[in-house]
Amino acid sequence: MLNMNKDLMHQAVGYHGPTLLSLLKSEQYENPDIQSVSAEFLKTALHHRKDRRIDNTGIQQLIARKADLLFAPSWKSSPSTELNDEETEDYYAIMPPLEQLMEVPNEDKRQYFFRDIERGDIVIGRVASIREFGFFVTLICLGGDLVRDIESLEITALCPVRDLPSLGKHEDPLSYFQVGDLVRVVVKDVDRYHERLAVTLRPSVLPSRLSHWKLGVINNDDLPTYYRLNSTLDSHVMETYDNVLHQTLGFANPSTVEYLLGKLGISEIESSSLMRGLQSKNFNGDDYAPALRKKQSAAWALKCVKAGVDHFKAGRHVEAMNEYNKALEIDSNNVEALVARGALYATKGSLTKAISDFDLALETCPTHRNAKKYFCQTLVERGGQLEEEEKLVNAENCYKKALNLDETFSEAEEALQKLRKHMQVIYLVQNNTYHKQLPLFFCQIDSELQLDTLLLSNKANGMFV
């Protein structure tokens, strides 16, 4: 039986009340963490319960049935970080308040606002009037992690002088504010019965999760993204949630899931699921998204390679190159794409690029027959180019590399022997001993080892470049 996060469980019971506790005992009767919860502790938790009516029996039943999964201490693998929509607008879809698309009456919006607003919540508004005892703010939206459509409700809040930070002993803190200023403040007191709010600019009231937010005068650029979206919908009453969602830039981000999982501190590999049949412990590593995505990418890249080969056979080299490049964008280590592109490079005379592709292909798959074959042929051809450029040592290295790949490759062996004889003749001519030693040259060098030794010594003395 899994252990539970007792703090999180107590928060849930404190919010939903004794009904959830009864359901937990009924559904999780075998779990010792449920049975060990003391009545005294529960009374303490229920004492802080919000005075509100909660008609969510379905949610409570779901919590009770899945309690061992929801309250498991291991589902959260790393610390979460606060989402800042100003920085992450392009990373995931930020939507306007749901009620904006539902035509909810203002009376209901107001009722739910005062039901849910709490001390420590961030609100944004405009300074409506300034008095000796403070200033009044007309709220236009919520800040932090709350999203509500409240601008049309004309809710006002009082910020007393004592809740304004003092910048100097003899300065009036109210002098820093003017009617019409946009201000970000935090809720200090809530009178739900009379629907009154008191706000403050003192950051000490902020909860730790919102402590990074700065309070005070702001400008239009500091308004939440959802509020700006809300404003653009005023003239599009018939707009649907689905249409708005698809129009957001973040919705098209293919890494949205990975980004949000990281922000919430949830591991993509050891992910939690409320479906018991999909618990991560029941799957092998090859069944996870990264492994499946790799297989899908390889299959997709192979289709591009096949299309490129068809273009190549038809003489459409540009189209073939585009397909090979597309395949390598999908799967950068796709061996078939590297070999095919290398062959096309070699056909067009770009031997250096061809060698690079073949080399990478053999690093990925050392036993690939065509990669080795084409690599050896291209090395020999490149060696011939280098001989014409009188870069004999580099040409020799190409032939040697070809023989290291395939000892039986006769073209490389013949080219290497021919080059070595040519290099020896050059050496004799440079030392003015051509007429003396040339008749003896071929009878003295009776083994490849002796020739290698002679050439190496000559190169060490700087005779060849």
Please enumerate in sequence order all residues whose Cβ is within 8 A of that of 329, keeping only pairs 6 or more positions apart, or say none.
Answer: none
> What does the CA dihedral 135, 141, 147, 150 come to, rounded to 10 degrees?
100
**Cβ atoms of residues 348 and 321 within 8 Å:** no
Beta bridge partners of 141: 124
Digitized pLDDT (tens) for each residue of the chain, 465 residues in all: 557 777 777 778 777 777 888 888 888 777 776 666 545 445 554 444 444 445 678 888 988 888 888 887 665 555 555 555 455 667 888 888 888 888 889 999 999 999 889 899 999 999 999 999 999 999 999 987 788 889 889 999 999 999 998 766 667 888 889 999 999 999 999 999 999 999 999 999 888 888 888 999 999 888 888 887 766 665 545 678 888 888 888 888 888 888 888 777 776 666 567 777 666 555 666 666 777 788 888 889 999 999 999 999 999 999 999 999 999 998 888 999 999 999 999 999 999 999 999 999 999 899 999 999 999 999 999 998 888 888 888 988 998 998 898 888 888 888 888 888 888 877 777 765 545 554 444 444 444 444 454 444 444 444 443
Whole-angstrom CA distances from 205 to 5, 76, 81, 154, 298 are: 27, 28, 20, 24, 54
Question: Nearest Cα to 336, choosing from 374, 368, 359, 363?
Answer: 368
Alpha-carbon distance of 67 to 35, in angstroms, equals 13
Could you tell me the pTM of the whole model? 0.48
